[in-house]
Amino acid sequence: MRRTLVAGNWKLNGSKQDTKDLIEGILGGISEVKNADVAVCPPFVYIPQAAELLASQGASSNISWGAQNCSQYNDGAYTGEVAAPMLKEFGCTYVILGHSERRAIYNETNDDIVQKYIAVQSAGMIPILCVGELLSERESGKTEAVVAEQLDAVLNVTGIEQFKNAVIAYEPVWAIGTGVTATPEQAQDVHAFIRQRLAEKNTAIADKIQILYGGSVKPDNAAELFAKPDIDGGLIGGASLQADSFLGICKAAG
């Protein structure tokens, strides 16, 4: 039985005060979330603050934290970058990789993403690998081909064993930040496709991996998405910036 994971992707939002308010708000309601794992991914500079607030709750909090990106390099002359071992040092469990905003705005390629994936796992953290199609690709019937290409780009380099310690997030680009959510059936179809593709290499690993859905998840649509057999939680953008809505989604997950 796979556990459900709800991860908040704060993107480029917040301040010290917002981080304090949001983490305290989440901590205030987290005891009602019984069976889901919860994570927050603040901007890099707020990770230490979030970590300190969460760690101060000790074992009473089942909330972990992560980053939204990292360098593929561990050190050196790479101005402006943050390395995976640095994130590990601040207690990060997860690093989101290959988000469509990074692919589209920062021209991240599949080659960059696989190098980052390896760096994150080598540092002892769990990559949350994002895949997903554009609206034009869905409308021209290319959803599975696009998702397969993004997945295979990592799988063919790392091998299936490296999916033991990984999370996948299916995020249709047309659903991110638009208020348009994939229907539970549309999402389930792609999640099942991803799991099947991994199962062709190793059924045990495919059965175990958490596949999250992302794209306009809100408290009122989360439960029916998470009820689908291959949807193991969500990667939440806009709705993760308010404690109430984020907690509402976490409660829908268990």
Among 14, 127, 215, 233, binds ligand PGA (CB under 6 A): 215
Nearest approach, Cβ of 123 to ligand PGA (angstroms)? 22
Q: Shortest distance, CB of residue 158 to ligand PGA, whole angstroms?
A: 23
**CB-closest chain residue to ligand PGA:** 237
Q: Which is catalytic among the residues 101, 133, 171, 191? A: 171
191 is catalytic: no
Stretch that binds ligand PGA, among 14-22, 38-46, 191-199, 235-243 (CB under 6 A): 235-243
| Number of residues near ligand PGA (by CB under 6 A) | 13
Q: Provide, rounded to whole angstroms, the least separation between the CB of residue 213 and ligand PGA.
A: 9
Q: Does 217 bind ligand PGA (CB under 6 A)?
A: yes
Task: Check binding of 176 to ligand PGA (CB under 6 A).
Answer: yes
Under the criterion CB under 6 A, does residue 98 sit at the interface with ligand PGA? no
Distance CA 84, CA 196 (A): 30
Instruction: Determine the interface stretch with ligand PGA among 31-39, 72-80, 185-193, 230-238 (rule: CB under 6 A).
Output: 230-238
HEC profile for the chain?
A: CCCEEEEEECCCCCCHHHHHHHHHHHHHHHHHCCCEEEEEECCHHHHHHHHHHHHCCHHHCCEEEEECCCCCCCCCCCCCCCCHHHHHHCCCCEEEECCHHHHHHCCCCHHHHHHHHHHHHHCCCEEEEEECCCHHHHHCCCHHHHHHHHHHHHHHHHCHHHHCCCEEEECCHHHCCCCCCCCHHHHHHHHHHHHHHHHCCCHHHHHHCEEEEECCCCHHHHHHHHCCCCCCEEEECHHHCCHHHHHHHHHHCC
- Set 24, 99, 137, 139: catalytic member: 99
Q: Nearer to ligand PGA by C-beta: 47 or 236? A: 236
**Footprint of ligand PGA on 2-41 (CB under 6 A):** 9
Letter string b/e over residues 200-231, b meaning 16 or more CB atoms within 10 A of that residue's CB: eebeebbeebbbbbbbbbbbebbeebbebebb
Point out which span in 32-40, 43-51, 171-179, 224-232 binds ligand PGA (CB under 6 A). Answer: 171-179
Counting contacts by CB under 6 A, is residue 238 touching ligand PGA? yes
Nearest distance in Å: CB 131, ligand PGA: 12
The residues that touch ligand PGA, with contacts defined as CB under 6 A, are: 9, 171, 176-177, 214-217, 235-239
Residues designated catalytic: 99, 171
